[in-house]
């Protein structure tokens, strides 16, 4: 489906050029840094938790278009959600970018995240797409302050 692919590429390009929630979050009570040495992507995710829910989220950093767009769309997708919902969403997203989930028949939960379905054809890019999520989980669970995909 070439039309759908073009649309998805547009979504990714647009978010990489004008990332949403790209700032330091002053009221953040959790944050973590992520690094993908394979590509050079580096980012910090800031989270303001209210109980078990994400009240606000932002990120800063530099990297390729895929990593930036993924972080941007991730921040939009997880705002207002609980840790458990984030885990479920990440699980779906990871299956999507590794080709284990069909975006067409797929989960409506994914929304804009479905734009990353093409990543499954480029295994080296999977780490770019998942880096923001690994970093978010590190921030939420405080397991490691710095995550690396290697
Ligand atoms: Zn990258």
Q: Is 137 helix (H, G, I), strand (E, B) or coil?
A: helix
From ligand 1's centre to the CA of 50, what distance in Å?
Answer: 31
Ligand 1 center to residue 26 CA distance, Å? 27
Query: What CA–CA distance (Å, rounded) separates 132 from 34?
Result: 7
Dist. CA 97 → ligand 1 center (Å): 14
Tell me the CA–centroid distance for residue 92 and ligand 1, in Å: 20
Q: How far is CA 8 from the centre of its chain?
A: 15
Residues pairing with 8 in the sheet: none
In contact, 57 and 43? CB cutoff 8 Å = no
Q: How far is the CA of 100 from the centre of ligand 1 (A)?
A: 21
pLDDT for the residue 103: 53
Give the Å distance between the CA of 120 and the centre of ligand 1.
14
Residue 106 confidence (pLDDT): 53
| Most confident stretch, 18-22, 94-98, 100-104, 110-114 | 18-22
Q: Dihedrals φ, ψ of 106, to 5°? A: -65, -165
Residue 25 pLDDT level (bands cut at 50, 70, 90): very high
Q: Grade residue 147 by pLDDT with cuts at 50, 70 and 90.
A: confident
Mean pLDDT, residues 95-113: 78
User: Given this model, what pLDDT does residue 52 score?
Assistant: 92
pLDDT, tens only, 80-103: 999 999 999 999 999 999 999 865
Q: Residue 82: beta bridge partners?
A: 53
* Ligand 1: centre distance to CA 110 (Å): 21
Q: What percent of the chain has pLDDT over 90?
A: 75
pLDDT for 144 equals 60
Instruction: Give the pLDDT band (50/70/90) at residue 7.
Output: confident
């Amino acid at each position: 489906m070439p039309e759908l692919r073009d649309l998805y590429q547009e979504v990714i390009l647009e978010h990489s050029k004008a990332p949403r929630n790209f700032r330091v979050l002053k009221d953040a009570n959790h944050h973590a840094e992520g690094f993908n040495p394979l590509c050079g992507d580096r980012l910090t995710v800031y989270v303001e938790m209210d109980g078990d829910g994400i009240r606000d989220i932002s990120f800063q950093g530099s990297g390729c278009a895929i990593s930036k767009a993924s972080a941007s769309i991730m921040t939009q997708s997880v705002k207002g959600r609980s840790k458990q919902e984030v885990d479920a969403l990440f699980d779906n997203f990871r299956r999507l970018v590794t080709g284990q989930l069909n975006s067409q028949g797929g989960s409506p939960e994914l929304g804009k995240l479905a734009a990353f379905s093409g990543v499954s054809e480029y295994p080296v890019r999977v780490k770019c797409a998942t880096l923001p999520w690994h970093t978010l989980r590190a921030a939420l669970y405080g397991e490691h302050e710095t995550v690396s995909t290697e």
